[in-house]
């Protein structure tokens, strides 16, 4: 389920992948349900591709969200992460993921995780498991969009060069 949930740099909240348009992805906000296009220039990250630092191997975000869901009984987190101090955030996160790397996981990371969790719960998404093979993979769609975008630029450049040559030729003749 998390492969189709996206974070877009510079835009608040989380988005669900709805469709793929010409050189773009169509996404829907999990907060207000509004749809909008995103392009190859936007930095888009699927929640299914994110992991958290631990003292051992990194743990997938899906496992962290599952642990958080068990701790909070699939309800929104009971405190406001924006108002919590750093010690409170670290103590809370230690209950969710006891062996997380305290040097590389910053309070801002914990705040963002709690915010994402609350958005997912608010949208009715409680299945944080890994993706099934037959479902849409966001990274493939992003690569298709990136591959299509340069082709269009090349066509535009060729058309401009062609019209420039035509313009020069008509002046001489």
pTM of the model: 0.74
Structural domains of the chain sorted by starting position, each given as residue range(s) with its CATH number in brackets: 51-122 (1.10.10.1650)
Three-state SS at 117: helix
pLDDT given at position 156: 44
* Token couple for 142: 């992003």
Is 21:37 a contact under the CB 8 Å cutoff?
yes
Cα–Cα nearest to 90, from 69, 107, 73: 107
114-163 pLDDT, tens per residue? Answer: 999 999 999 999 988 765 443 444 555 555 555 555 544 444 444 444 44
d(CA 72, CA 96): 10
């Amino acid at each position: 389920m998390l492969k189709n949930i996206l974070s877009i740099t510079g835009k608040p909240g989380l988005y669900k992948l709805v469709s793929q348009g010409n050189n773009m992805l169509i996404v829907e906000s999990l907060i207000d349900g509004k749809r909008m296009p995103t392009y190859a220039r936007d930095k888009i990250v699927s929640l299914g591709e994110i992991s958290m630092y631990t003292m051992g191997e990194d743990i997938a975000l899906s496992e962290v969200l599952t642990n958080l869901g068990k701790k909070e009984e699939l309800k929104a987190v009971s405190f406001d992460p924006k108002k919590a101090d750093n010690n409170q955030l670290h103590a809370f996160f230690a209950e969710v993921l006891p062996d997380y790397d305290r040097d590389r996981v910053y309070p801002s990371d914990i705040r963002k995780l709690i915010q994402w969790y609350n958005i997912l719960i608010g949208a009715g998404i409680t299945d944080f498991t890994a993706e099934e093979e037959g479902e849409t993979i966001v990274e493939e769609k992003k690569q298709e969009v990136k591959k299509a975008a340069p082709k269009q630029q090349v066509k535009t450049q060729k058309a401009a060069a062609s019209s420039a040559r035509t313009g020069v030729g008509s002046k001489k003749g």
